[in-house]
Amino acid sequence: MITEKLYKHYMQCLLEGDRAQCFKIVKELLEKDVPIHDLYLGLFQKSLYEVGELWENNRISVAVEHMATSITESLLTLAYPRIFAAEHNGRKAVISCIANEFHQIGGKMVADFFELNGWDGYFLGANTPASEMMDIIHHKQPDMLALSLSIYFNMNSLYQILELIKKAHPGLKVIVGGQAFQWGGRDISSRFPGVEYVASIYHLEALLESYEPA
């Protein structure tokens, strides 16, 4: 349903900062019952990856990159009536970015897919201090913890928080993902048994479908 022509039009509007037109495109897709997977992966994720590549190649400014990210984040809310209408199963997940990670939209999208699959997703946002994350884990007692990492140079910070988590909650299922892992770290389970790298939303959903409490 999301044709290449529509995608290119949306991408142009996104780069121009035309929030109203982006809103209109997404709203019309939802009115046509576009699958949430197509919307999130074929429009939001695809366009943000392209924006990131344009910025890395100095074809757009950081201001334009921030503007496109901000618009996309605001558009996620349009899908919430469908996402939160899913029947819930009583399972809970905490989803967070680690300290010094300021790219939160990937984590927010992951939290939405937990909700879409019947879980209660508690999203903590960007740059979450380790101590405060631990407090939330203790309070919520989640079935699963998902950590998002977009900057590879923050991998050591991820290792540090995983050390704390595995010591305090050895039985907690932990998954990690994000753009940082394209540069390395996908063998994280060899360093932290019980921690699993999740490569995609489809991988996540397969994991949720087969999940069995410890």
pTM exceeds 0.85, yes or no = yes
Collect all residues with Cβ–Cβ distance below 8 Å to 17 and sequence separation of at least 6: 64, 67, 68, 71
In this prediction, residues 38-67 reach a mean pLDDT of 95
Assign 10 a pLDDT band (cuts: 50, 70, 90).
very high
Predicted local distance difference test score (pLDDT) of residue 117: 95
Distance CA 104, CA 126 (A): 5
Read off the pLDDT of residues 97-121 as tens digits, 9 standing for 90 and up: 998 899 899 999 999 999 999 999 9
Owner of token pair 């010591």: 167
Q: Strands 195-197, 120-123: parallel, antiparallel or unpaired by DSSP?
A: unpaired
Checking if the pLDDT of 42 tops 80, the result is yes
Checking if the pLDDT of 149 tops 90, the result is yes
Q: What percent of the chain has pLDDT over 90?
A: 93
Distance CA 27, CA 175 (A): 32
